[in-house]
A and B are shown apart, each in its own frame.
Chain A
Amino acid sequence: MSITQTSVFIESKPGHLTRTLEVFAKHSINVRGFSAADTGEYGIVRFIVDEPDRAEDLLCKEGFAVQSSQVLCVKLADNPGELQRVLKIFADHDINIVYCYSLASSYIALSVKDIERAEKALEDAPVTLVEQEEIVELDLS
């Protein structure tokens, strides 16, 4: 159970992230979470949106460098120690988290090399993975 992440290559310059967001706004794509990281020269912005396929198409048509990929989405309880509990499962299975970021409220997206292996690792743990369809109606309470 993984979800689609939409990543865009952008130069680390003012206005460049906005241009991507303008495309989303114009076409009513709802951004449910995002992360921006950069090397000082260029950056990769990763989005979790309600309609990833349409988002990718739209960005491609506008000439953006876009790539979709699969990430895990875990729902965390709003308790102290919860993030540690979840990440420790990955550590215990020797799974490296390449990056992770939080979505709206208490949802975090995590990128790992081998999604299936990570999914198996989480299977028996008390962790709620979020399905693609649920992204549209995330419970933000």
Chain B
Amino acid sequence: MGTPMPSPELIDFSKLPIYLPDVECSSRERIRAIQLAKLIEQVNYTYKHVPWYQQKMDAAGVNPSDIKTLEDVRKLPFTDKSALRETFPFGLFAVPLDEIVEMHASSGTTGKPIVVGYTRSDMDVWSECIARLAQMAGVTAKDRVQMAFGYGMFTGGFGLHYGIERIGGMMIPAGSGNTERHIQMIADYGTTVLIATPSYAMRICEVGEEMGFDWAASTLQIGLFGGEPCPPGLKAELEARMHITCTDNYGLTEVMGPGVSGECLAHRDQQHIAEDHFLWEVVDPDTGEQLGEGEEGELVLTPLDKRGIPVLRYRTHDLTRVTTEPCECGRTLARMEKVRKRCDDMLIIRGTNVFPSQVEDVLSGIDGLTPHYHIIVDNEQGLDRMTVEVEIKPEAFKDSFEAMNDFSREVTDKLRTALLVTPVVKLMEPGGIQRTQGKAKHVDDRRRYE
């Protein structure tokens, strides 16, 4: 039966599963040796099979044979999201599509979606990474795991599904939506693990409470969260109200999807990186220079054995710091601090990427609004909330609340369609948005994670 999460000092980590102890607990020297061997192989593979990278590397005057140590990774050019856009949809693929067994795509909120393809071996690596993070949370073959992510093009649904299958857990592929049915299924099938976004888990929790479902007595024990960052306050609340242990993981479609790193129960604000599959660097976002261990900077990832769509030195724009100190859970794989900040102006609103420029584009297409706007993001009520203040032109004013509410709703609908996030739209009077000199400060991110 579900029990509240004990504090880390009280957990007997020797009793918790580790999916691949041989790798996850190996010496730092051995991890680095694995990384170097794979890096050399991967750079050669990428140069040989992806013309785009061959050109980039030639232009940068670097040859695969120049990579002799892990430090030599610095000689390679960076990759960012624009590379995937420029080559949409399959331009960065290193294998014929015949060898791709599955494709996924990001939501594509700015222009074209990011399209990725996986070979059989990529799927193998991916499910292995998910298996690791599921076991970090205590999931075993005995578990009954209910999926509350949507399946579809999003990497989260299928990614987690395959990882659980790999462990031997029983997948209950319920999918997203119909909250009452989710609760009924937990009761009927004795579900022990729930996979959901933290915000949807909260919805399930609340609906269950309203239905009189007894979370304390339920079979549910673990929540595997993803799809959006999970504020610690929300996690603590879910753990207390649903009587479960919740972890979340980090990943991005461009380098694989979920599973790049996962949270163990010893350090709830950090995640172990699957270092044998991903070479991490932390760099100064302005200069691109590598920073030392423990210094905060931009996370740069190089997948070390991706065959379908290899990327070298992918700039995540996520800010973090990494430590290689051994962990109380027994793992020696490096830990990254959970990402809370970005080094570009991208906002992550409930897991969806939003750029202020997208908001600007939508607003400029609406008659009756001035070009001035202001975005406020907060999480006062636990979940992210985006408020967009827009300024009406004098002629857009109609002396009727009905008409003004319709106008406000029109703005909301257009923003939602473009951003895939529902904002709170506030109509401001002409001149109501503060003018600033120079680059206007459009975003006020008030989210707190303590």
CB distance A11 to B397 under 8 Å?
Answer: no
Q: Which of A41, A65, A98 contacts B392 (CB 8 A)?
A: A65
Q: Which of A16, A42, A60, A65 contacts B426 (CB 8 A)?
A: A42
B376 to chain A minimum Cβ distance, whole angstroms, is: 13
B388 to chain A minimum Cβ distance, whole angstroms, is: 12
Does residue A24 face the partner (Cβ distance < 8 Å to B)?
no
Q: Chain B interface (Cβ within 8 Å of chain A)?
A: 392-401, 404-405, 426-432
Q: Which of B404, B405, B426 contacts A9 (CB 8 A)?
A: B404
Given A41-B427, A42-B427, A42-B429; A65-B396 close (CB under 8 Å): yes
Does residue A37 face the partner (Cβ distance < 8 Å to B)?
yes
Given A64-B394, A67-B399; A42-B430 close (CB under 8 Å): no
**Chain A residue contacts of B398, Cβ below 8 A:** 67
CB distance B401 to A9 under 8 Å?
Answer: no
Q: Chain A interface (Cβ within 8 Å of chain B)?
A: 5, 7, 9-11, 16, 37, 39, 41-42, 44, 46, 60, 63-67, 69, 98
CB distance B392 to A9 under 8 Å?
Answer: yes
- A–B Cβ pairs within 8 angstroms, 10 of them: A9-B392, A10-B429, A11-B428, A42-B426, A42-B428, A42-B429, A44-B404, A64-B430, A65-B397, A66-B394
Bound-complex Cα distance A10 to B32 (A) = 63
A135 to chain B minimum Cβ distance, whole angstroms, is: 18
Bound-complex Cα distance A42 to B392 (A) = 11
**Chain B residue contacts of A42, Cβ below 8 A:** 404, 426-429
**Chain B residue contacts of A65, Cβ below 8 A:** 392-397, 429-430
Bound-complex Cα distance A69 to B403 (A) = 14
CB distance A60 to B394 under 8 Å?
Answer: yes
> What residue of chain B has the Cβ atom nearest to residue A38's Cβ?
B401
Given A63-B394, A64-B394; A44-B401 close (CB under 8 Å): yes
Bound-complex Cα distance A46 to B397 (A) = 13
**Chain B residue contacts of A44, Cβ below 8 A:** 399-401, 404
**Chain B residue contacts of A64, Cβ below 8 A:** 394, 429-430
Beyond the given A60-B394, A63-B431, A98-B400, could you list 9 further A-B residue pairs with CB under 8 A, ordered by the A residue number? A7-B399, A9-B427, A42-B427, A44-B401, A46-B399, A64-B430, A65-B393, A65-B429, A67-B398
